[in-house]
Each structure stands twice: as C-alpha cells, then as structure tokens.
Structure 1
C-alpha cells in the first residue's frame, strides 16, 4: 500500500490528492497532482505541474524567507508527487478563521507584507524569469476557468474580460504565486506559512493581489458575516502590500479584481458559499471594477459599500 493510500485525506483543494501520513520522524503531507480537477465542470491540467510547485516553494523560501513555506522532504517526479513536513498545528487555516468570524488584522497585514516582499524581491532576479517563463499551467488553471470560461458564457462581458486577460498576460514583472488565497495560508497572528504553488509563473503581480483581495471581498459580503472587520482586513492587506510591494495598486488591479469576482460567481470554480452572498451586489461591484480606467485613490474602493456596517 502506498503512502497516499495509507494517509488521511485533507479537504479543501480541487487540483490535487493531499493526505497526511504518520512516519517515525513525524507527520508528512503528501501531495499528488491530479489530471482532472475535482469540480463539476470538465477542467484538466498536466499533473507534471507538481514539479513546478516544488521549484516554486524553494524559490519563494529563498526570496521571502524559509519560515514562510513548508519544508520539502522528498520528491518523486515520475509520480508527480512530493512530501512536505507537517506545519506546526498552532497555525490554523486562514480561510476557516475568516469564515468563523476570527479576523486578525496582524495576519492580514503580514499576508500583504509577505506578498509584497516576494514580488519586489523576485522582480530583481532575472534567473527566476527564465525558470518560470512557461505560462501553460497558469493558462490551464486560471486564464481558462476564471477568464475565458466566463467570457464564453457571459457574452455581455466577453470583450472586456478578454481584453483584461490579454493585458494581464502581457505584463510580466515578477514571480507570481497564482493561488494566493486564504485557503492556502496557515496563520497565527504574524506567523504565516503559504501553501499551494502549482500555478507559480513569471507574470503580472497584480493577479496575486487581486486573487487574495477577491476572496476577502467575498467574505466581507457574507450575509451572516462580519463586513466591518473584513473591511479592516482588506485595508491592512493592501496597506502592507503598498509599503513592501510593487506599484500595482492601479486600474489594472481593479480590472483583474472585477474579472475574478465574476469568476467566483460564474466560473468553473465558483465560491463554495454562493448561497450566503448577495450575488447581484457582487456582480455590480465587479462591473464597476473592470470598467475602471484610473488608479483607485484608497483601499475603500475595493469595499462593497452597501454591505459594510
């Protein structure tokens, strides 16, 4: 029996089989990339992306600090899987915390700080641009399901969405995580570990900021949520990024955020709490964002006003 078969499955992801396995040296997390993702729609990606993830974890640790990523224990390229040391259980999943009403502004600020440092430092390393130049997995796992799929199914928005996607793909400035969301962050106050690097590529850093921002905005809009607290988290995240990151808090960021909001409503991987959202308000905000042509003046531009306390 393989380690994966023996392990206890971890829930939450759609792109990989992830399990915890006990060993004499302590628990390991074994991750095996899937060819078909675990969603209702047909969504496929080459499982060889697992090796991109291993390289990306090492790069992120080198650029942003080894304490911000899990430790790689072994790698099996022929099986498209690898093992990581189990992260200190003191750190909890940030998405679960936010959904449960635990909003720690120190965590939100640290998440923005880490991302900003990762972008600004990697932008100076030309060797990373060469190593992560291939956009195959970003196209398969983000551009197709979050932009092209929505454009094909929402013709009233198709032209603008495709324009924004092309502009994004043309801006290649830094190493981009590609899945920088609360579900992939373990945290305890300022102690933060980032997970899931299989979409990492050299590209537009606005995508990472917009991706995390989208998740925070949606959680601020939960019908039974904590909008004022999540609004403060959005400010803390963006303010920390602004201090540490690249100059990307602009119209391009607003446009990508608008597309991603629509994707969480109509894409291949919609938010798993849609029934708790005012989808009309979300769609209206998305339209406002992807029509924007100048830099937002404050973080409050990314709030959903009618849902704030």
Structure 2
C-alpha cells in the first residue's frame, strides 16, 4: 500500500476519520476519469473509499469541471440512501476545502462492476430491471420533496460536465444536426422534475448481494430524470458492438430496464418521460462516438459509422417511444 495524497489525508482529518498526526495508506483505483479514487485503510483497520474530484478530467479532450461537484455527490448519496438504503453506499463524510469525500468500501469480490459482467456476456435482464426499478424509486421519492431543488443549484455544473461535452460538442462535429442537438440540450436544461444522478452507467453500478448499487453521482442535478434513463439505455445499445455475441441479451436488458423504470414513474405521465428519453437517446448515442467522451471500446471506424447512421436518422425524425430506437439499432446490427 502507498501513502495517500496529502489532500486526502487532510480531508479525512477534517471529517474526523483520521487523527491529527496519523497517516492512512491505500491503493489507487482505476477506471474513473473525473476523480482520484482510493481504497484506503485507516489506522484503526477500517476500509473506506475516498474520492477527490479533479479540475481537468482524464480524457483526450480539454474537459474541465468545477471540483465543487464533490459536494453535490455527497448530497445525492445522502438523499438517495433515504429512498433506497441498499442501492447506495453509506456516506462517511465530505470535506469541501479539499474536494474529498469518504464512503463505505464495497469489496469487489462481493460487488463486481456491472460493466465487467456485461463485457463478459452476462446479460441478466432481471438485474437490469432492478436497475430501472431502483432508479425510478429514488427519483419518485425525491420528486415528492421539491424543496430539495435548493440543495442542488448545479445547472452550470451539469451543463459543463454533461450537456456541453455530450450534446453541444457533438453539434460542432455534426453542424448539419446542430439545431437538433442544441435543442435537446436546451430542453433538458429547462426541464425540472426531480433529483438526477447524471452518470447512470454500467461502470457506476455494482452488482451487489441485495441488488444494484449506484456510484459516482458527481453530476447530481435537480432536473430531467429522462436524462438518467436515456444515459443508461445508451450504454446497453453500445455494448452490442463490444460483445456482438451477446447483442440479443443487451437488447433484452434494454427492454427490461426501460419497462421497470417506466412502471415506477409517478411524478408525471410515464409516456411523457419516455418521449423525452427516446428523443434524447439518439443524441447521446452519437455523442459517445463524436463528443468529448467517446466510449473506449469502439475503435473500428465501421462500428462508429453504424452508430452515426442510426443516430443521425433518429435525430432527423425524433422518436417518442424507446422501442423505436431499439428497433432501429437491432435492424442496423442485423444487417
């Protein structure tokens, strides 16, 4: 184990998790682009996970974001745990001066990452349904408390780390679709319904003994819940090119997650949420090829062109049902 960075040491002391003069050691974790994340062992033997937000994200593009997002991740963890206690790790503390938070350590042997399972072709539609069910439960509970919007004044942050790098940057790469992509960004920014996670991706979901566990809510925002639904479903479509042999399983997960989520929508008509998610999804689909954060596993130009072909057609003729997007993609990968 290594000495953890000084800012993390300071943050742990400020949280009361590390005594003055004591030192903690740990192991840096891989996989994230927006934070330094460590598995830390405290002097008393406790294992914790410690995160420190980065001002410049670890991607090829010059992508910067305010480190204050760490504050809102901590708030999301606290609120979401009230709604679904087993779906979120316990928050142990947060220190704004160092941009550091500490949370419950979930050992990977008991909590594997869903993305890894999907990569290996483990397409459990029942688990995908539970992802949708738990996400809707959290959002439904938060929608009942509109006063919480004041705790998440993150419009500019969400724009900086979601709308601009995904939709606006992609508009620059596809100027003939700039109107459609910027309109999606504007509509999403203006829609205020409930608490949004902002990064519901298989890499941020653990397969826990009691079901899905959501991590990495740095993009937490009071806004449009359709963003979370579309963001996660987008990954299930893209995985069809990562592991083509499991494509039908990924599509079954898409159906299961979407269906379970929409059943749980209580803050507005489910068809209205679905319509926003369905029309947003092609923009996010295209963004994972031509935005600032392309998925790392699509390296062949022919695969990228498949995504572009389907996404562009759907942006020009926006769907209002998720099955339309799913069918267009299934037809493409079958050809």
Cα offset, 1:288, TM superposition? 3.1
Count, aligned residues: 308
Match of 2:276 in 1: 252
Equivalent in the alignment of 1:95: 115
Name the CA distance, whole Å, in 1 between partners of 2:322 and 2:30. Answer: 39
1:1-38 CA-partner distances (Å, limit 9, x unpaired): 86347421111111000011123343211100000100
More off after superposition, 117-126 vs 232-241: 117-126
Report the 3-state secondary structure (helix = DSSP H, G, I; strand = E; otherwise coil) of the residue aligned with 1:101: coil
The alignment's C-alpha RMSD in Å is: 2.1
Q: Unaligned 5+ residue runs, structure 1? A: none
1:28-107 aligned at under 5 Å gives the runs 28-63=48-83, 65-89=84-108, 90-107=110-127
SS in 2 for 1:79: coil
Cα distance in 2 between the residues matched to 1:10 and 1:139: 27
Residue 123 (structure 1) aligned with residue 143 (structure 2): yes
Aligned to 1:191: 211
Does the CA-based 8 Å contact 2:279-2:319 persist in structure 1?
A: no
CA distance in 2, matches of 1:93, 1:9: 17
Contact 1:4–1:30 at 8 Å: present in 2 too? no
- The verdict on how the C-alpha distance between 1:19 and 1:302 changes in structure 2, with shifts beyond 3 A counting, is farther
Does 2:306 match 1:287?
A: no
Compared CA separation, residues 190 and 296, structure 1 to 2 (3 A): farther
Q: Residue in 1 aligned with 2:298?
A: 274
Per-residue deviation at 1:117? 1.2
Residue 172 (structure 1) aligns with: 192
What is the Cα deviation at residue 203 of structure 1? 0.6
Say whether 1:304 aligns with 2:330. yes
In 2, distance between residues paired with 1:255 and 1:158? 15
70 and 302 in structure 1: CA distance in 2 versus 1, 3 angstrom threshold: farther
Distance 1:34 1:129, change over 3 A: same
CA distance in 2 between partners of 1:36 and 1:191 (Å): 33
Q: Distance in 2 between matches of 1:234 and 1:176?
A: 20
Other structure's SS at 2:207 match: strand
The CA distance in 2 between the partners of 1:93 and 1:221, in whole Å, is: 19
**Closer, same or farther: CA 228–189 of 1 in aligned 2, 3 Å:** farther
Gaps of 5+ in 2: 7-24
CA distance in 2, matches of 1:164, 1:241: 21
Render the CA deviation track for 1:113-149: whole Å, top value 9, x for unaligned: 0111122221121111222133121111001100111
Change (3 A) 1:154 1:62: same
| Bigger CA radius of gyration | 2
Aligned mates of 2:113, 2:236 — CA distance in 1: 14
1:176-215 CA-to-partner distances (Å, cap 9, x unmatched) read 1100110000014761110011111111111000100111
